[in-house]
Amino acid sequence: MDKIKIAVIGGGPGGYAAAFLAADLGMDVTLIDKEKNPGGVCLYRGCIPSKALLHVAKLINEAKEASDWGIEFGKPKINLERLRAWKNEVVSKMTGGLGILSKQRKINFIQGTASFINSFTLKIGLISGETNELKFDKIIIAIGSVISTIPSLNIDSRRLLNSTSALDLPEIPKSLLVVGGGYIGLELGSVYNALGTKVSVVEMTPGLLPGADRDLVTYLSKRIEKSFDKVMLNSKVVSMKDSADVITIKIQAKDGTISESNYDYVLMSIGRRPETKGLGLENTKVKINQKGWVEVNKQLQTDDPVIYAIGDIAGEPMLAHKASHEGRTAVEHIAGHKVAFEPLAIPAVVFTDPEIAWAGLTETRAKEKNINYVSAKFPWAASGRATTLGRGDGVTKLLIEPETERILGIGICGPGAGELIAEGVLAIEMGTNASDLKLTIHPHPTLSETIMEAAEVFFGQSTHVYRPKR
Amino acid sequence: MAKEFKLPELGENITEADVLTVLIKSGDTIEKDQTVIEIETDKATIEVPSTIDGVIKEVLVKAGKKINVGAVLFTVESTPSTENSPKTSISVPNVSKESKQGGSSISPAITVPSKGSAKVLSQEGSPSELHIVDFKLPELGENIESADVLTVLVKIGEMITKDQGVIEIETDKATIEVPSTVEGKVVEINIKPGDKAKVGSVILKVESLISNVKKESVLSKLPDETPLPFKPVGGSSAGEKKMEPGEIDDQPPILKHSAPAAPSVRRIARELGVDISKVPGSGPVGRISMDDVKTYVKKLNENREAFPPGGLGISREPLPDFTRFGSIERKPMSKIRTITAEHLSYAWNSIPHVSQFDKADITDFEKFRKSYGAKIEKAGGKLTVTSILLKVIAFGLKKFPQFNSSIDIAKKEIIYKNYFNIGVAVDTDHGLIVPVIKNVDMKNLTEISVELNSLAEKARTRKISLDEMQGGCFTITNLGGIGGTYFTPIVNAPEVAILGVSRGTYEPFYSDGIFKPRNMLPLSLSYDHRIIDGADGARFLKWVCETLQDPFKLFVD
C-alpha cells in the first residue's frame, strides 16, 4: 500500500506533535506554518517566553524576600536588552530544535499558509508569494486561536499591548493596567510587577481567574492585592484614549460609578478565540459551531471524514498539552487504530506566584452538576518543605467520591503546583483511590507529601493536621 | 388544593436514591410524564417522570440529598378537574404518613402505608370506607403504545386480588397476561376481546379498600427486556451530554460512570471493541485491570462458541487411519476455522434448509454501476453488486419481515427485528469472516460502499472487532468473483436466510420475436423453512430480481 499522504496545517504543539507521530508511523507528512520553524504561539509568543520571564520575576521576588532571612541583595539592576535577548535565545533554541527534529523525520516543512480548495486539496501560499496546489489523503487542521479584542477598545496606540507585544518588553513602564484577570493577564502582569511596574488589574467578574475554585485563588488574590497597585473586580473598561504620554482609561465599577485614570501602558488580555476565516472550509464538509470552533468527534474527525481538527480550533480548553494529545490521537486514528480522545483529566496550570493548578473535577463544577464529593484539604502551613521555603500560603486539595474513595479531582495552590499536579492527573487517570495515595510513600521533606497528607486528611488521619473526631 | 408527588418504587430492594438534579422549581407548570428529578440508585441513573400535573407549589428535595422511596418530592396546585375525584388513580405506590403535610387532596383511596405495616390508613373517613379504583393498562415496554386484547379473565362482581391476571393482551412483541395491581370487587370492565387497549387507559374499575398501584409488581410479570417506565440515563451522564465544545469548562466530566481503568487498559478495550464500562472490575473501587478486559473478551468468545460440537445428538464416526493410504500431515485448526466449523455444523443441523434459485437481469443495473462507480470510488468505496444488493435486501427485509426474524423455539416465539443489519461473507487468508453493516436502511449507497470496503479490509488485516461482526439479520455471500452458477449457502444462524450471489453472464433473452443479449445474475437463496414457507421464499427472491431489474419498483409498492 502507498504511504498515507497527510498534511498538518499549523505547527504549534498540536500540529508538530501530530506531524512527528505521523512521520514515525510511516506517513508522508507535510507541515505548514507561517514561522520559520515549528513551535506555534506556544513557543514563539506564549507558554515558553512567558515562562522564561516568569522565572526571572520569581528570582527578583525571592531575592527581595530574602531580606527577611538576613540576606540583602540590594535593588536589582535590570538590563532590559539582555533580558529580551535571553528570552529570544530560549525561543530560538526550542524552535530551532523542533526544526531539526522535523528534518530528521523527513517532514516536508513549508513556511507559508494553506487553504482548502476541496476536501483533499490545499492551496499553499509560500512566503515568496508563490502558490501551488497539493493533494493529500488526510488533512489535520491545527491552526490554533487568535487573541480576542473588544472592537470599541481597539485603539491604535503603541501603549496598548496584547499578550504578544507584552512579551517583547518594549520598556519597563511606570504603570500598567491589565484588562482581564485571567491567567494570561495575571502571568504577564506579575512579570512587569517584578520588573518594577505598578500594575493594576480590572476584571468583569467578582473574582480573579474565573472558573478556578475560589479556595485555591484566595492565596493568589491575597498576594496580588499586596504587590499590585489595584485590583478592580466587578468592573469594566468603558473607554480608552491615547493621550500622547499615557493612556486614559474610564472604568465603570459595579455600582455604576465611572472613574478615570492614566496608565503608561494597557495590556488587553481578555482571552483567545477561534478564527477560521480564509481557511476555505466552505469548500469542505467541515462544520463550525456557533462559537466558531470546528466540530469534531472523539477521534477529532470533522464532518468531512478526511479532515481532522485538533487543539484550540477544536474547542476548549485551549491548552498546548491538550492539543498535543489530540494531535497524536487524530494521527493514530488515521493510521487505522481504534482510539478516542477521552482523558479523565486535563491539567490546568496558572504560572503566577503562587502557582495554581487543577485537574479533573473542580468543586465549582461538582456543585453545578450536583456531583457527590468530599473535599480533603492539606494546608501548606503544615508542610515542612513549604515552611523552609517561607511559603506556607498554599493548599493541596483532593476531591474524593465518598463511597468508593476514588480520586475525582485535585487542586493545588503554592509554588511548584504546576509540577505537583501531574501526580494527581495520573491518580485520576488510573482510577486511584484515596488509600492508594495515602499508602504510597512520598519523599520527605518535599511538597509532594501534601498530596499524600491530603489523602490522609480524608480518613481523618493526617500526621500533620489534627482534626477532632466528628 | 395541593397534591403531592412522592418518589415511586424504583425496583426491587431499592429503598432510597441520591438526588442528582432537580429539574423543577416552585411556580413551574408541569405535565404528566414530564421528568421532574434525576436520581441515582445503586443500579442506574434514572429520570423520574411526574404522575401528576399542575403548578408546583413547593419543592421538598435538594440535589445531593438522599431520599427514601415514598418521600414527598414536591406539591402541586392541581387543576380543579382532577381534584378530589375519588376515581383519580395516581400511580404513587407508597403513601406514608408524611403526606399530611402537603394537604389531603391526594386520592383518598390510596392509603397504603410504607413497607412492613399492613394497617390501612385513611386520611379521610374510616378504614372501612369503600372506593372505586381504576386499573389502567400499565407500561408494556419501549415504543408499545397499545395492545390487542385477547381474553378478559375476570367478570363483573368477581373479587380479584393483587397480581391476579385480569386480561391477556398481544403486543407487537409478545403475548402478556396483565396482572392486577389493585384488589377488590370488579364493578366495571371497559374492554372486550378484540379491542385495542391503549397504555394508560382504564381497563377495570374495582370497588376496593386498598389500591396499591405497584408498578413493580406489574413489571415483574413482563418479559425481561421490558424496561422500567423510567428512562435510564445510562453510562454517559447528563453532564457529559450537555458538554459542547466551546463551553467554558476546562475539564472532561469525571463522574461515577467513567470506568475506573488506566488509560492503557481503556485503549486495549477500545482496540478489542469492548465497551469498557461493561467490563466488571476486580480491583478496589471496581478498578478494571488488563486481565479483567481479557477475561471479559474470552467470555464473550466462549458464549459465541457455545454450540454443541458435532451437531445435535449425532455421534462422531471414528476417522480411519489415513496413513495406511499414503503420507499425511496434521495441522491444528485455526481459531477461525474451528469457530466456522462448529457454527456451520450447528446451523446445518438445527435449520431445515431450502434453497431457491433465480436469475436477475442486471444489464441496466450494470450501466448504473459503471456510471456511478467513479464517484463512489472517490469517497473511498467501491460500488459493487454486493453493495447494491445490501441496499435492496434492506428494503426486502422491510417488505418481508419474516426474513428479518429469529426463532425462539424454547419460548415458541418469533423475534422480529426492527433494525436492518446485514452481514457480508468475506474470504480472507485466515478464513471466512462475516462483518456486519449496521442499519443499512439508513445509509446511502456511497456510505454502504465505503463501509463495506473498510470492514472487508479490516477483516483481511484481522483488525475487525467483535462488535463489527455481531448483530446481523441476514447475510450475503458473493462468489461471483470466482465463478459458478448456483450454490446452496448455509443460513448463518440465528438468522433465517442467506443470499448467494454468483457471476452474471450474457445470455440470449427472447423478447419481441428476437433474442437479445442480457446480463443475467444467478442468485441462490437459502432459508429456514421453519419460519419461511416455500412460496414466501420464491416471492422474496422474485422481488429481489425484479427490484434489481427495475429499481423504480421500490417507489411503487
Indicate yes or no: CB of A348 within 8 angstroms of CB of B254. no
Which residues constitute the domain of residue B16? 1-122
Query: At residue B207, does pLDDT exceed 60?
Result: yes
Residues B341 and B368 reside in one and the same domain: yes
Q: Give the mean pLDDT of B4-27.
A: 77
Query: At residue B226, does pLDDT exceed 70?
Result: no
Residues B157 and B104 reside in one and the same domain: no
The reported pLDDT for the residue numbered A468 is 67
Residues A239 and A302 reside in one and the same domain: no
Residues B111 and B139 reside in one and the same domain: no
In a domain, A52, yes or no: yes
Query: At residue B225, does pLDDT exceed 50?
Result: no
Query: At residue B100, does pLDDT exceed 80?
Result: no
Residues B135 and B112 reside in one and the same domain: no
Q: Give the mean pLDDT of A237-249.
A: 93
Query: At residue B106, does pLDDT exceed 70?
Result: no
Cα–Cα distances in angstroms (integers) from residue B453 to residues A195, B311, B399, in the given order: 63, 34, 27
A374 and chain B: CB distance < 8 Å anywhere? no
Query: At residue B309, does pLDDT exceed 60?
Result: no
Cell, residue A411: 487542586
The amino acid that residue B497 corresponds to is A
Task: For residue A340, give the nearest of B256, B270, B286 by CB distance.
Answer: B270
Question: What is the end-to-end Cα distance of chain A in Å, rounded?
Answer: 68
Last residue within a domain, chosen from A304, A334, A364: A334
CATH number (domain holding residue A63) = 3.50.50.60
In a domain, B92, yes or no: yes
Closest CA to A425 of A439, A407, A404: A407
Task: For residue A343, give the nearest of B20, B239, B252 by CB distance.
Answer: B252
Instruction: Compare A102 and A463 and report the one with higher pLDDT.
Output: A102
What gap in Å lies between CA B548 and CA A346, rounded to an integer?
54
* Contacts for A453 with CB less than 8 Å, ≥ 6 apart: A378, A382, A383, A396, A462, A463, A464, A465
Weakest-pLDDT range from A144-158, A181-195, B18-32, B247-261: B247-261
CATH number (domain holding residue A445) = 3.30.390.30
Residue with C-alpha cell 482510539? Answer: A339
The reported pLDDT for the residue numbered A178 is 97
In a domain, B177, yes or no: yes
Which of B43, B233, B251, B451 best tests the A interface by mutation, with the highest count of A CBs <10 A?
Answer: B251
The reported pLDDT for the residue numbered B237 is 33
Please, what is the angle between helix B263-271 and helix B290-305, to 10°?
20
Instruction: Compare B128 and B282 and report the one with higher pLDDT.
Output: B282
Last residue within a domain, chosen from A308, A334, A360: A334
A212 and chain B: CB distance < 8 Å anywhere? no
Confidence of residue B243 (pLDDT cuts 50, 70, 90): very low
Query: At residue B556, does pLDDT exceed 80?
Result: no
Instruction: Compare B29 and A162 and report the one with higher pLDDT.
Output: A162
What gap in Å lies between CA B419 and CA B421, rounded to an integer?
6
Indicate yes or no: CB of A316 within 8 angstroms of CB of B249. yes
Q: Mean pLDDT for chain B? A: 76
| Contact (Cβ atoms closer than 8 angstroms) between residue A119 and residue A243 | no
What is the percent of chain A where pLDDT is above 90?
90
Query: At residue B291, does pLDDT exceed 70?
Result: yes
Weakest-pLDDT range from A220-234, B194-208, B478-492: B194-208
The reported pLDDT for the residue numbered B41 is 67
**Three-point CA angle A254, A255, A259, nearest 5°:** 85
In a domain, A431, yes or no: yes
The reported pLDDT for the residue numbered B488 is 94
Confidence of residue B257 (pLDDT cuts 50, 70, 90): low
In a domain, B240, yes or no: no
Residues A262 and A278 reside in one and the same domain: no
The reported pLDDT for the residue numbered A258 is 95
Residue with C-alpha cell 413489571? Answer: B219
Residues B79 and B214 reside in one and the same domain: no
Instruction: Compare B244 and B366 and report the one with higher pLDDT.
Output: B366
Instruction: Compare A1 and B343 and report the one with higher pLDDT.
Output: B343
In a domain, B483, yes or no: yes
Residues A263 and A286 reside in one and the same domain: no
HSE value, Cβ hemisphere, 13 Å, CA-based, for A336: 15
Total structural domains within chain A: 3
Please, what is the angle between helix B534-549 and helix B363-378, to 10°?
70
The reported pLDDT for the residue numbered B141 is 59
Indicate yes or no: CB of B261 within 8 angstroms of CB of A340. no
Indicate yes or no: CB of A317 within 8 angstroms of CB of B266. no
In a domain, A463, yes or no: no
Closest CA to A6 of A120, A98, A102: A120
Alpha carbon A408 to its chain centroid, in Å, reads 22
CB < 8 Å to A359, chain B = 251
Q: Give the mean pLDDT of B213-232.
A: 35
* Highest averaged pLDDT of the listed ranges A209-213, A326-330, B157-161: A326-330
The reported pLDDT for the residue numbered A276 is 94
Q: Which residues of B are catalytic?
A: 529
In a domain, B512, yes or no: yes
Chain B contacts in chain A segment 145-164 (CB below 8 A) = none
Task: For residue A431, give the nearest of B251, B270, B285 by CB distance.
Answer: B285
Q: Give the mean pLDDT of A177-203.
A: 96
A128 and chain B: CB distance < 8 Å anywhere? no
The reported pLDDT for the residue numbered B33 is 77
Instruction: Compare B204 and A246 and report the one with higher pLDDT.
Output: A246
In a domain, A466, yes or no: no
Cell, residue B41: 440508585
Residues A140 and A217 reside in one and the same domain: no
What gap in Å lies between CA A352 and CA A356, rounded to an integer?
7
Kind of pairing, strands A356-360 and A272-273? Answer: unpaired
Residues A285 and A356 reside in one and the same domain: no
Which of B236, B266, B285 best tests the A interface by mutation, with the highest count of A CBs <10 A?
Answer: B285
The amino acid that residue B43 corresponds to is K
Residues B110 and B169 reside in one and the same domain: no
Indicate yes or no: CB of B251 within 8 angstroms of CB of A315. no
Residues B136 and B118 reside in one and the same domain: no
Q: What is the DSSP annotation of B415-463?
A: EE-SS--EEE-EEETTEEE--EE--GGGS-HHHHHHHHHHHHHHHHTT-
Q: How far is A401 from chain B (nearest CA, A)?
A: 8
Residues A138 and A165 reside in one and the same domain: no
Instruction: Compare B554 and B391 and report the one with higher pLDDT.
Output: B391
B427-467 tens-digit pLDDT: 888 788 899 999 999 999 999 999 999 999 988 888 888 78
The reported pLDDT for the residue numbered A324 is 98
Last residue within a domain, chosen from B172, B204, B227: B227
CATH number (domain holding residue B342) = 3.30.559.10
Chain A contacts in chain B segment 229-248 (CB below 8 A) = 239, 244-248
Confidence of residue B92 (pLDDT cuts 50, 70, 90): very low
ipTM: 0.76
The reported pLDDT for the residue numbered B102 is 39
Q: Give the mean pLDDT of B369-393.
A: 89
Query: At residue A415, does pLDDT exceed 60?
Result: yes
Residues A260 and A284 reside in one and the same domain: no
In a domain, B300, yes or no: yes
The full length of chain B comes to 557
Residues A56 and A170 reside in one and the same domain: no
Total structural domains within chain B: 4
Closest CA to B526 of B484, B485, B495: B495
Last residue within a domain, chosen from B91, B122, B153: B122
Q: Give the mean pLDDT of B80-106.
A: 39
What is the percent of chain B where pLDDT is above 70?
75
CB < 8 Å to A435, chain B = 284
Query: At residue A126, does pLDDT exceed 80?
Result: yes
Query: At residue A406, does pLDDT exceed 70?
Result: yes
CATH number (domain holding residue B213) = 2.40.50.100
* Highest averaged pLDDT of the listed ranges A37-41, B39-43, B115-119, B308-312: A37-41
A289 and chain B: CB distance < 8 Å anywhere? yes
B273 and chain A: CB distance < 8 Å anywhere? yes
Residues B69 and B166 reside in one and the same domain: no
Residues A427 and A446 reside in one and the same domain: yes
Task: For residue B254, give the nearest of A291, A408, A433 by CB distance.
Answer: A408
What gap in Å lies between CA B221 and CA B178, rounded to an integer?
8
In a domain, B456, yes or no: yes
The reported pLDDT for the residue numbered B93 is 40
Cell, residue B543: 422481488
Residues B457 and B350 reside in one and the same domain: yes
Strands (E), A213-284: 230-232, 236-243, 246-252, 258-263, 265-268, 272-273
Residues B285 and B405 reside in one and the same domain: no
Confidence of residue B230 (pLDDT cuts 50, 70, 90): very low
* Highest averaged pLDDT of the listed ranges A17-26, A332-341, B236-245: A17-26
Residue with C-alpha cell 477598545? Answer: A153
Query: At residue B122, does pLDDT exceed 50?
Result: no
The reported pLDDT for the residue numbered A368 is 87
Q: What stretch of H or E contains B204?
A: strand B202-208
Q: How many Cβ atoms from other residues are within 10 Å of residue B496's Cβ?
A: 24
Query: At residue B114, does pLDDT exceed 50?
Result: no
Instruction: Compare B50 and A207 and report the one with higher pLDDT.
Output: A207
Q: Give the mean pLDDT of A390-395.
A: 94
The reported pLDDT for the residue numbered B45 is 66
Q: Mean pLDDT for chain A? A: 94
Residue with C-alpha cell 362482581? Answer: B157
Closest CA to B360 of B519, B486, B507, B488: B519
Closest CA to B4 of B98, B129, B111, B113: B98
The reported pLDDT for the residue numbered A123 is 97
Residues B290 and B380 reside in one and the same domain: no
In a domain, A465, yes or no: no
Q: How far is B451 from chain A (nearest CA, A)?
A: 12
Residues A130 and A218 reside in one and the same domain: no
Q: Give the mean pLDDT of B243-271.
A: 69
The reported pLDDT for the residue numbered A453 is 96
Which residues constitute the domain of residue A197? 151-270
B328-368 tens-digit pLDDT: 888 888 877 888 888 888 899 889 999 999 999 999 888 88
Last residue within a domain, chosen from A270, A290, A320: A270
pTM beyond 0.95, yes or no? no
What is the percent of chain B where pLDDT is above 90?
24
- Which DSSP symbol is given to A283? G
Query: At residue B29, does pLDDT exceed 80?
Result: yes
Residues A138 and A162 reside in one and the same domain: no
Instruction: Compare B215 and B501 and report the one with higher pLDDT.
Output: B501
Q: How far is A183 from chain B (nearest CA, A)?
A: 13
Residues A9 and A140 reside in one and the same domain: yes
In a domain, B433, yes or no: yes
Residues B363 and B456 reside in one and the same domain: yes
A327-354 tens-digit pLDDT: 999 999 999 998 999 999 999 999 999 9
CB pairs under 8 A between A and B: 105
